[in-house]
C-alpha cells in the first residue's frame, strides 16, 4: 500500500509542504486529494465538502498542477486556459479578464497563441500553474512547483504561492527542492513508506529533532534516516 | 547496412516486448486477432472464389473478365498501399521521436533513409497479406493450378510489394522535398488530398467499368465460341505499373499468350526500377530535406512559436464544459493531418464504394425484388463495416488518448459519465452528418421506394448509435492512458471486443434488413424485423452504457 493512515489538514492562508524520499507516497497522496485515485478508506474534505460524495463541488475548490504537466499539444496556450476555465465554470468574460491578468505573472504572452507542442518544459509548467489559478481555488495542490523553471520564474512562483496564501487560499506542495520548501512552507509533513513520520513548522521539527539551528535539509536527513523499517 | 538491420531488429524486439508486457489476456487477445485476421482472409477467399467460379461459367468471355478483375484489384491494392505509405512515411521519415537522436549519432543519412524505408514498409505491408494472398489463392484454386503457380504467385507478390514500397518511398521523398518548408501536418494533408483526388480521378477513368466495357469484353467473338479480345483491357491498363504483374498472374493461370513477353519482362524490371529510383533519387532528396525539417521542427522552432490564432477565445462553436471538450476533440482531429487523413481515407473508401454502386450496370438486377433485398442487406453490411472502422479508429480510443493529459479532465469538476454521454451524442451526430448523405445516396441507387428508404434510414440510425456506443463503451472499459497511438490502442482487448461486437451486430441488422426488404416486396409488414433491430440495439446500447458507467466510477489515472 502506497499510503497508510495519512491524516493531514491544511488551513486557509497556509502553505503545507509534503516532502519525502522517492516512493514515499507523496504523488499517491496528491492524486487521492485531486480525485485521480480512490482511497480504499478514509475521507478527503475540501472546505468541509466530501470529495467522494460530492466530487464536482469539491473539485471546483481545487487547483492542481501535476509533476509532469502534460498539456494538449495541438491547442494554443490561450485555448487551453479557456478550456480549463470552461471546465471549472468560469464565465467567458471573466476568464478572458483573468487570463489577461495571469499572463502578466510569467513571460508567456509571446508564446501563448502558439501550439503547446512548441513550448519548452518550463513554459508548459508555467501554463499549468496559471491554469490551476484561473478559477481562484480555495486549495492549490502543486507537485514539484519549480522543477524545470528558470531561476527568475522560480522566484516568481515562490512569490505567487505566498500571495495566494496571503489572500486566503491554502496550498499543498510536494517537492524535493528543500530550500524552496523551507522558504515558502508554513508547515512541513515528512512522508516515508506511506506514513507521516513528522509534521510541524520548522521550530517544532527542530525541537523534536533536538537540532536548534538545523535547516530543513538537515531535518529531512535526520528524520528519514532515523525512521528505518 | 549492419546498423540498419540492428536497429530494425531492435524495433521488432521492442514490439515483442510490448506484446509480452501486456497483462494476462495478451496471448488470448493476440490469438483472437490472428483468428479475426484469418476469418477476414477466409471471407475474402470465399468471395473471390465464388466470383471467379461465376466468371469461369460465362465461357468465352471469362478470360477477359478475369484479367479485368486482376488489373482492377492490383491497382486498388497498389493505391491503398502507396497512399498508406506516403501518409505514414512522411511522419516516420521526418518526425519519428528518435530522429534527433539518430541524426546526432554517427549513423549515415543513407542508412537512416533505408531504416525509415523499411520501417514504413513493415507498417503498411499488412495490406498485401490481408488483401492479396486470399485473392491469389482463390485464383489458383479456381483455375486448378499446381504448386508451380503458387511459387510464381509468391514471386509476383514479392515483386508487387517491392513496387509499392519503391513507389511509396519515392513519392514520400518528393512530397517531403516539395513541402519541406511547411509544417509536417500541412505536408501530409496536402499530399493526401492530391494523391486521393488524383487517384480517385484515375480510378473513375480506368477501373470502374461502364456498360460499354462489358460489350467490348463479351463481343464480338463470343457468338462463335471464340475467346473475347484482351486488347481493349491491355490498352486500358498498360500505363499502370501493376499491369505487368496482373498479366503475369493472368498468364500463370490461363497459359502463355502471344504478344505478352514485354509485360513479363517488365514484371521484374518495374519493381527493381522503382527500388533503384527510390534508392538513388529518394535517398538524395531525403539527404537534402531532413536537415531542413529537423532544424525547423527541432529546439530552434520553439523559440518562435508562431501564433495560430491570436487572442482567440475557446470554445468557439460549442458551449459548456462538455461542448468545450467536444470542440477540443474535433480540433485535435482537424489539426492532425494523420488523424484527418485516416478519417478522409475511410470516407474516401465509402464514397468509392457508393460511386461503384452508381456506375455498376445494375439496371437489370434491380428489377428483381430478391436481388434488391439482397443488395439492400449487403449495402447495410458495407455501411456497418465502415462505421465499425471509424468507431475503432476514432471513437474507441477517445478516452485513452487523453493519455498523460487525463489529469486535466479527471481533476476537474467535469462528470466523466456526462462526458461519455456527450461524446456518444457528438460522435453519433458527426457520423449522421458524414456518413448519412453518402449512405443515403447508395441506398437511393438500389431502391427508390419511400418505405424501403425509410427502413434504410432507421436501420442506419440504429447502426450509428449502437456502433458508437459499443466503441465508446469498450474504450472506457479497457482504457490505456500510456499508449498515445490510436492504431496500437485498437489492438488491445477493447479493440478486439469492439470489432467482434460491432461486426456481429452489423451482420444481424443486415440480416434483419434483408428479411424486412423481402417482406416489403411480398407486401407484408416490416414491423417484426424493425422491432427486432430496435430491441437488439436498445439492449446493446443499455448494457454498454451501464458497463461504462460502472467502470467510470472505479477509474483511476496513473
Here the CATH number for the domain that contains residue A166 is: 3.40.50.300
Question: Which residues of chain B does A96 touch, with a Cβ-Cβ cutoff of 8 Å?
Answer: 313
Does residue A201 share a domain with residue A113?
no
CB contact under 8 A, B314 and A79: yes
Best CA proximity match to B66, nearest among B181, B228, B179: B228
How many Å apart are CA B51 and CA B59, to the nearest integer? 14
HEC profile of A150-199: CHHHHHHHHHHHHHHHHCCCEEEEECCCHHHHHHHCCEEEEEECCEEEEE
CB contact under 8 A, A118 and B301: yes
**pLDDT confidence tier of residue B303, bands split at 50, 70 and 90:** very low
**pLDDT confidence tier of residue B302, bands split at 50, 70 and 90:** very low
Residues of chain A with pLDDT under 50: 229
Asked if the model's pLDDT at residue B198 lies above 90, the reply is no
Query: In chain A, which residue's Cα lies nearest the Cα of B557?
Result: A36
In the Cβ-directed half-sphere of B492, how many Cα atoms lie within 13 Å? 25
When scoring A79, A103, A123 by the number of chain B Cβ atoms within 10 A, the one with the most, hence best to mutate, is A79
User: What residues contact residue B242 under an 8 Å CB cut-off, 6+ apart?
Assistant: B71, B74, B75, B77, B78, B160, B163
Q: What are phi and psi of B490, to 5 degrees?
A: -65, -10
DSSP string computed for B25-74: THHHHHHHHHHHHHHHHHHHHHHHHHHHHHHHHT-TTHHHHHHHHHHHHH
Asked if the model's pLDDT at residue B222 lies above 60, the reply is no
Q: Per mean pLDDT, which of B260-264, B303-307, B524-528 is the most reliable?
A: B524-528
How many Å apart are CA B249 and CA B149, to the nearest integer? 9
Q: What are phi and psi of B226, to 5 degrees?
A: -90, 145
User: What residues contact residue A131 under an 8 Å CB cut-off, 6+ apart?
Assistant: A65, A80, A81, A84
Does residue A30 share a domain with residue A94?
no
Q: Per mean pLDDT, which of A39-53, B21-35, B58-72, B220-234 is the most reliable?
A: A39-53
B186 at A interface, C-beta within 8 A: no
Does residue A171 share a domain with residue A115?
no
B336 at A interface, C-beta within 8 A: yes
Does residue A43 share a domain with residue A83?
no
Does residue A20 share a domain with residue A106?
no
- In this complex, the residue of B310, B315, B325 whose CB is nearest that of residue A113 is B310
- In this complex, the residue of A35, A84, A120 whose CB is nearest that of residue B410 is A35
**pLDDT confidence tier of residue B9, bands split at 50, 70 and 90:** confident
How many Å apart are CA B132 and CA B127, to the nearest integer? 8
CB atoms within 10 A of CB B502: 27
CB contact under 8 A, A64 and B308: no
Lowest mean pLDDT, pick from A47-56, B491-500, B503-512: B491-500
Lowest mean pLDDT, pick from A225-229, B77-81, B155-159, B524-528: A225-229
**To the nearest whole number, what is the mean pLDDT of chain B?**
85
pLDDT one-digit tens code per residue, B239-290:
889 988 998 888 888 877 766 666 678 888 999 999 999 999 999 999 999 8
CB contact under 8 A, A59 and B411: yes
CB atoms within 10 A of CB B381: 18
Does residue A101 share a domain with residue A200?
no
B296 at A interface, C-beta within 8 A: no
% pLDDT > 90, chain B: 39
Does residue A165 share a domain with residue A55?
yes
Asked if the model's pLDDT at residue B446 lies above 80, the reply is yes
Hey, which residues does A16 pair with through a beta bridge? A172, A187
**Where does residue A58 rank: exposed (0-12), middle (13-18), buried (19+ CB within 10 A)?**
buried
Does residue A90 share a domain with residue A152?
no
Position A83 scores a pLDDT of 95
Position B321 scores a pLDDT of 94
Position B456 scores a pLDDT of 94
Question: Which residues of chain B does A60 touch, with a Cβ-Cβ cutoff of 8 Å?
Answer: 413
Question: Which residues of chain A does B404 touch, with a Cβ-Cβ cutoff of 8 Å?
Answer: 68, 70
Question: Which residues of chain B does A113 touch, with a Cβ-Cβ cutoff of 8 Å?
Answer: 307-312
CB atoms within 10 A of CB B201: 10
> Which segments of B413-522 does DSSP mark as H helices, in order?
416-446, 450-477, 486-489, 493-521
Among A residues 33-92, those touching chain B with beta carbons less than 8 Å apart: 34-38, 55-57, 59-60, 62, 64, 66, 68, 70-72, 74-76, 78-79, 82-84, 86-89, 92
Asked if the model's pLDDT at residue B223 lies above 60, the reply is no
Lowest mean pLDDT, pick from A41-45, B78-82, B157-161: B78-82
Does residue A151 share a domain with residue A47?
yes
C-alpha distance from B348 to closest chain A C-alpha (Å): 25
CB contact under 8 A, B413 and A66: no
**Where does residue A177 rank: exposed (0-12), middle (13-18), buried (19+ CB within 10 A)?**
middle
Question: Which residues of chain B does A82 touch, with a Cβ-Cβ cutoff of 8 Å?
Answer: 313-315, 324
Residue showing cell 482463390? B138
Q: What are phi and psi of B298, to 5 degrees?
A: -90, -155
pLDDT one-digit tens code per residue, B408-444:
999 999 999 999 999 999 999 999 999 999 999 999 9
Q: What are phi and psi of A172, to 5 degrees?
A: -115, 125
How many Å apart are CA B16 and CA B90, to the nearest integer? 25
Hey, which residues does A45 pair with through a beta bridge? A50
E strand or H helix at A142: strand A139-143
User: What residues contact residue A105 under an 8 Å CB cut-off, 6+ apart?
Assistant: A130, A156, A160
How many Å apart are CA B308 and CA B333, to the nearest integer? 16
- In this complex, the residue of A37, A74, A78 whose CB is nearest that of residue B335 is A74
Question: Which residues of chain A does B328 touch, with a Cβ-Cβ cutoff of 8 Å?
Answer: 72, 75, 79, 83
CB contact under 8 A, A87 and B404: no
Asked if the model's pLDDT at residue B299 lies above 50, the reply is no
Tally of domains in chain A? 2
Question: Which residues of chain A does B183 touch, with a Cβ-Cβ cutoff of 8 Å?
Answer: none
Position B200 scores a pLDDT of 78
Among B residues 358-397, those touching chain A with beta carbons less than 8 Å apart: none
> What are the distances in angstroms from CA B504 to CA A15, B385, B387, B466, B530?
57, 10, 13, 12, 17
Position B202 scores a pLDDT of 79
% pLDDT > 70, chain B: 88
Best CA proximity match to A194, nearest among A57, A77, A60, A39: A39
Question: Which residues of chain A does B325 touch, with a Cβ-Cβ cutoff of 8 Å?
Answer: 83, 87
C-alpha cell at B28: 488470448
Greatest extent of chain B over all pairs of C-alpha atoms, in Å: 80
Question: Which residues of chain B does A115 touch, with a Cβ-Cβ cutoff of 8 Å?
Answer: 305, 308, 335
CB contact under 8 A, A113 and B311: yes
- In this complex, the residue of A36, A59, A76 whose CB is nearest that of residue B556 is A36
Position B280 scores a pLDDT of 93
Asked if the model's pLDDT at residue B184 lies above 80, the reply is no
| The pairing of beta strand A15-19 with beta strand A187-192 | parallel
CB contact under 8 A, A83 and B325: yes
**Where does residue B353 rank: exposed (0-12), middle (13-18), buried (19+ CB within 10 A)?**
middle
Does residue A82 share a domain with residue A185?
no
pLDDT one-digit tens code per residue, B348-397:
888 878 887 887 777 777 888 888 999 999 999 999 999 999 999 999 99
Asked if the model's pLDDT at residue B127 lies above 80, the reply is no
> What are the distances in angstroms from CA A207 to CA A179, A195, B37?
19, 21, 70
Specify the higher pLDDT residue, B333 or B363: B333
Give the residue-averaged pLDDT of B296-318: 63
Position B220 scores a pLDDT of 55
Lowest mean pLDDT, pick from B158-167, B307-316, B425-434: B307-316
CB contact under 8 A, B557 and A36: yes
Domain boundary among A85, A111, A136: A136
User: What residues contact residue A100 under an 8 Å CB cut-off, 6+ apart?
Assistant: none
Domain boundary among A95, A119, A136: A136
B97 at A interface, C-beta within 8 A: no
- In this complex, the residue of B305, B309, B315 whose CB is nearest that of residue A86 is B315
**pLDDT confidence tier of residue B7, bands split at 50, 70 and 90:** confident
**Where does residue B66 rank: exposed (0-12), middle (13-18), buried (19+ CB within 10 A)?**
buried
What's the predicted TM-score (pTM) here? 0.77
Question: Which residues of chain B does A55 touch, with a Cβ-Cβ cutoff of 8 Å?
Answer: 413
Residue showing cell 439492449? B539
* Cβ A161 vs Cβ A145: under 8 Å: yes
Position A204 scores a pLDDT of 94
When scoring B323, B409, B411 by the number of chain A Cβ atoms within 10 A, the one with the most, hence best to mutate, is B411
CB contact under 8 A, B413 and A110: no
Give the three-class secondary structure for B540.
helix
Give the three-class secondary structure for B368.
coil
Give the three-class secondary structure for A139.
strand
C-alpha distance from A118 to closest chain B C-alpha (Å): 5
CB contact under 8 A, B307 and A113: yes
**pLDDT confidence tier of residue B300, bands split at 50, 70 and 90:** very low
Give the three-class secondary structure for A65.
strand
Position B225 scores a pLDDT of 56
**pLDDT confidence tier of residue B18, bands split at 50, 70 and 90:** low
Reported ipTM: the value is 0.92
What is the domain extent for residue A79? 70-136
C-alpha cell at B361: 450496370
C-alpha distance from A186 to closest chain B C-alpha (Å): 25
* Cβ B79 vs Cβ B199: under 8 Å: yes
Does residue A157 share a domain with residue A122?
no
Position A80 scores a pLDDT of 95
Does residue A227 share a domain with residue A154?
yes
B302 at A interface, C-beta within 8 A: yes
When scoring B313, B316, B319, B416 by the number of chain A Cβ atoms within 10 A, the one with the most, hence best to mutate, is B313
CB contact under 8 A, A114 and B335: no
> Which segments of chain A does DSSP mark as H helices, in order?
26-33, 55-60, 77-87, 92-103, 121-133, 151-166, 178-184, 202-209, 216-226
Amino acid at each position: 500500500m502506497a499510503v497508510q493512515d495519512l491524516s493531514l489538514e491544511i488551513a486557509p492562508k497556509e502553505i503545507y509542504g509534503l516532502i519525502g524520499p522517492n516512493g514515499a507516497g507523496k504523488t499517491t497522496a496528491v492524486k487521492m486529494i485531486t480525485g485521480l485515485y480512490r482511497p480504499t478508506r478514509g475521507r478527503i474534505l475540501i472546505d468541509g465538502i466530501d470529495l467522494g460524495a460530492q466530487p464536482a463541488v469539491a473539485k471546483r475548490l481545487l487547483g492542481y498542477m501535476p509533476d509532469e504537466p502534460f498539456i494538449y499539444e495541438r491547442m494554443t496556450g490561450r485555448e487551453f486556459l479557456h478550456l480549463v476555465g470552461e471546465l471549472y465554470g468560469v464565465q467567458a468574460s471573466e476568464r478572458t479578464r483573468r487570463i489577461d491578468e495571469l499572463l502578466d505573472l510569467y513571460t508567456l504572452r509571446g508564446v501563448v497563441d502558439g501550439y503547446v507542442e512548441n513550448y519548452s518544459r518550463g513554459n508548459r509548467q508555467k501554463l499549468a500553474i496559471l491554469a490551476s489559478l484561473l478559477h481562484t481555488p480555495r486549495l492549490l495542490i502543486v507537485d514539484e512547483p519549480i522543477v524545470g523553471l528558470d531561476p527568475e520564474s522560480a522566484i516568481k512562483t515562490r512569490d505567487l504561492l505566498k500571495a495566494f496564501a496571503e489572500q486566503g487560499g491554502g496550498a499543498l506542495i510536494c517537492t524535493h527542492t528543500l530550500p524552496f520548501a523551507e522558504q515558502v512552507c508554513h508547515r512541513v509533513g515528512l512522508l516515508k513508506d506511506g506514513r507521516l513520520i513528522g509534521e510541524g513548522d520548522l521550530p517544532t521539527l527542530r525541537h523534536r529533532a533536538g537540532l536548534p539551528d538545523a535547516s530543513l535539509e538537515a531535518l529531512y536527513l535526520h528524520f528519514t534516516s532515523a525512521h528505518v523499517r | 547496412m549492419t546498423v540498419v538491420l540492428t536497429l530494425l531488429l531492435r524495433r521488432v524486439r521492442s514490439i515483442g516486448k510490448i506484446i509480452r508486457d501486456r497483462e494476462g489476456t495478451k496471448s488470448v487477445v493476440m490469438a483472437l486477432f490472428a483468428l479475426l485476421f484469418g476469418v477476414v482472409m477466409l471471407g475474402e477467399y470465399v468471395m473471390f472464389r465464388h466470383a471467379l467460379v461465376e466468371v469461369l461459367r460465362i465461357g468465352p468471355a471469362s478470360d477477359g473478365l478475369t484479367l479485368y478483375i486482376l488489373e482492377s484489384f492490383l491497382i486498388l491494392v497498389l493505391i491503398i498501399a502507396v497512399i498508406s505509405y506516403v501518409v505514414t512515411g512522411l511522419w516516420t521519415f521526418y518526425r519519428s521521436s528518435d530522429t534527433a537522436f539518430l541524426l546526432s549519432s554517427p549513423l549515415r543519412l543513407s542508412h537512416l533513409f533505408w531504416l525509415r524505408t523499411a520501417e514504413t514498409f513493415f507498417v503498411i505491408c499488412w495490406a498485401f497479406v490481408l488483401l492479396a494472398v486470399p485473392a491469389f489463392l482463390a485464383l489458383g484454386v479456381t483455375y486448378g493450378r499446381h504448386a508451380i503457380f503458387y511459387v510464381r504467385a509468391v514471386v509476383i507478390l514479392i515483386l508487387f510489394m517491392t513496387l509499392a514500397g519503391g513507389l511509396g518511398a519515392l513519392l514520400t521523398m518528393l512530397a517531403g522535398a516539395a513541402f519541406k518548408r511547411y509544417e509536417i501536418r500541412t505536408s501530409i494533408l496536402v499530399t493526401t488530398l492530391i494523391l486521393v483526388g488524383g487517384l480517385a480521378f484515375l480510378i473513375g477513368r480506368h477501373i470502374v467499368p461502364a456498360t460499354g466495357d462489358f460489350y467490348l469484353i463479351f463481343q464480338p467473338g463470343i457468338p462463335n465460341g471464340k475467346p473475347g479480345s484482351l486488347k481493349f483491357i491491355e490498352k486500358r491498363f498498360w500505363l499502370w505499373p501493376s499491369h505487368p504483374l496482373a498479366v503475369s498472374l493472368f498468364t500463370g493461370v490461363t497459359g502463355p499468350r502471344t504478344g505478352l513477353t514485354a509485360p513479363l519482362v517488365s514484371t521484374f524490371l518495374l519493381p527493381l526500377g522503382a527500388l533503384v529510383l527510390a534508392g538513388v533519387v529518394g535517398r538524395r532528396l531525403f539527404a537534402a530535406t531532413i536537415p531542413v525539417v529537423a532544424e525547423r521542427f527541432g529546439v530552434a522552432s520553439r523559440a518562435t512559436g508562431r501564433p495560430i490564432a491570436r487572442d482567440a477565445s475557446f470554445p468557439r462553436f460549442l458551449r459548456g464544459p462538455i461542448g468545450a471538450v467536444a470542440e477540443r476533440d474535433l480540433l485535435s482531429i482537424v489539426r492532425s493531418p494523420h488523424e484527418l487523413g485516416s478519417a478522409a481515407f475511410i470516407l474516401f473508401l465509402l464514397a468509392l464504394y457508393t460511386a461503384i454502386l452508381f456506375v455498376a450496370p445494375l439496371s437489370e438486377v434491380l428489377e428483381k425484388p430478391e436481388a434488391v433485398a439482397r443488395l439492400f442487406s449487403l449495402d447495410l453490411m458495407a455501411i456497418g463495416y465502415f462505421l465499425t472502422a471509424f468507431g475503432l479508429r476514432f471513437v474507441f480510443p477517445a478516452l485513452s488518448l487523453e493519455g498523460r493529459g487525463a489529469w486535466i479532465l479527471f481533476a476537474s469538476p467535469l462528470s466523466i459519465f456526462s462526458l461519455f454521454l456527450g461524446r456518444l451524442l457528438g460522435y453519433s451526430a458527426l457520423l449522421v452528418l458524414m456518413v448519412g448523405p453518402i449512405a443515403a445516396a447508395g441506398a437511393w441507387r438500389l431502391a427508390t421506394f419511400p418505405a424501403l428508404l425509410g427502413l434504410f434510414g432507421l436501420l442506419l440510425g440504429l447502426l450509428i448509435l449502437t456502433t458508437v456506443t459499443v466503441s465508446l463503451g469498450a474504450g472506457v472499459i479497457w482504457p490505456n492512458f500510456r499508449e498515445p497511438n490510436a492504431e496500437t490502442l485498437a489492438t488491445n482487448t477493447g479493440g478486439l471486443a469492439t470489432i467482434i461486437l460491432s461486426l456481429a451486430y452489423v451482420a444481424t441488422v443486415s440480416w434483419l434488413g434483408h428479411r424486412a426488404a423481402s417482406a416489403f416486396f411480398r407486401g407484408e409488414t416490416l414491423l417484426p424485423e424493425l422491432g427486432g433491430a430496435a430491441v437488439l440495439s436498445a439492449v446493446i446500447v443499455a448494457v454498454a452504457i451501464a458497463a461504462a458507467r460502472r467502470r467510470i466510477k472505479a477509474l483511476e489515472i496513473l
